[in-house]
Chains A and B, each alone.
Chain A
Amino acid sequence: MIKHIKHHLTTPLLMGYAAGTLPEAFNLVVATHISLCDDCRAAQAEFDAIGGETMLDAGSVAMSDDALTATLAKIAQGDAEAVRPQRNGPYPAPLAVYMTDTSKWRKIGGGVSQMLLHTGDRASVRLLKIPAGTAVPDHGHRGTELTLVLQGAFTDAHDRFAVGDIEVANEDMHHMPIAEMGDDCICLSATDAPLAFHGLLPRIAGRIMGI
């Protein structure tokens, strides 16, 4: 847990995470932020509670006659105990799971490296490493971009983002993040830009942001 986190999850992200409707890439960023942020952990509990009460209010549909018997039979089969993943350095447990032996840092230009973690139908997520003092080229966004700082810090025209802070950027936002001096800045970054983006402009997109 980190004190003084200034930039938190938004209501739509918390509600989407509680509802289970976010793309996997966004779920990972939300779970990683909550691992670092007590405020958002408490907020998540609230949104789960809203889900619970909404479910109670959603009516009831009769179960089949033998449902209880069938359920007791399922219980008799037992249930595998889930293994809880472990944190790894600056990488909280939910994120560490995505960093496998085959995950590699790759240079994407301008001194910036990325480690692609997951690409889904709706969104993708990667780690970005920006050397201290380096600027990421000015870029706009298609869809939503989530950027969570794990090490170091960056500033842009809007604000400063340090470890634990999350920036939620929309289509109408252009910015040029600059990594602060000190440690290299490592961020977890998810975008829900359509995959067609990759096919149409692979070189340019790859050079600019590695997406």
Chain B
Amino acid sequence: MTDAPTVKRLAWISQLNAVRDHQDRAAFGDLFSYFAPRVKSFLMKSGSSPELAEECAQDVMATVWNKAHLFDGSKASVSTWIFTIARNRRIDMVRKLHRPEPEDLPWGPQDAPSAVDTLALQQETEILGQALAALPKKQRQLIERAYFGELTHAEIASETGLPLGTIKSRIRLALDRLRHAMN
């Protein structure tokens, strides 16, 4: 049985695919009503004014529509993918910095992502999210401050209490499985 939170993540993927395949405005509206207010909140906590955060959140959601064909549910959850778009938008608009992307990985023939790999990755991301939520408040706040842009690299380096080892290892395992299956 697939648990309810993972079902929700799979539903986001279905909505994104409906946007990609049919320019489905209702599906996009569902994604918009869930993610746009969260992107806006994230940007405001990262220091944007409400006006700029609103503008950027609209841009992020427009990119979600325009780049829906690039999403791959076996490699990322929709929440991860939208975060990376929001982060890049914040860099462009607020920080005026350039952030080069790595080379594309030659994953082998680009078949449609398999349902098994997609389910595994979505479940692992859900588990990661729950592990983050269950962290002691102080540790969770440290991670939030890093992602909201309040900590420099040197400040992150000086923090010894980052509790990352246990919460993230499963996503790596899911990706390793996928990579070995592809190579």
Q: Which residues of A contact B (CB under 8 A)?
A: 1, 10-13, 15-24, 26-28, 31-32, 34-35, 38, 41-64, 67-68, 70-72, 74-75, 78-79, 84, 87, 92-95, 97, 120, 143-144, 192
Contact = CB atoms under 8 A, between A and B. Distances in A.
Contacts, number: 218
Given A55-B82, A79-B66, A144-B153, 13 more contacts: A1-B105, A16-B152, A16-B153, A24-B97, A31-B101, A41-B105, A46-B128, A55-B38, A55-B42, A57-B140, A68-B32, A79-B63, A143-B154
**Looking at B133, B153, B176, which has the most chain A CB atoms within 10 Å of its CB?**
B153
A52 B80 contact: yes
* Pairs A-B, 10 closest by C-beta atoms: A60-B37, A52-B80, A94-B100, A53-B129, A52-B83, A79-B66, A34-B102, A35-B103, A52-B79, A12-B157
A16 B181 CA distance: 30
Contacts of A18: 87, 147
A91 B140 CA distance: 38
A21 B153 contact: yes
A50 B63 contact: no
A22 B83 contact: no
Interface residues of B, number: 77
Contact of B146 (A1, A19, A95): A19
Interface of B: 25, 28-29, 32-33, 36-42, 44-45, 50, 53-54, 57-59, 61-63, 65-67, 75-77, 79-84, 86-88, 90-91, 95, 97-105, 125, 128-129, 132-133, 140, 143-144, 146-149, 151-154, 156-157, 162, 164, 167-168, 171-172, 175-176, 179
Given A26-B153, A58-B42, A67 B58 contact: yes
Contacts of A42: 172, 175-176, 179
B77 A58 contact: no
A81 to B, nearest CB: 9
Contact of A71 (B62, B87, B143): B62
A63 B168 contact: no
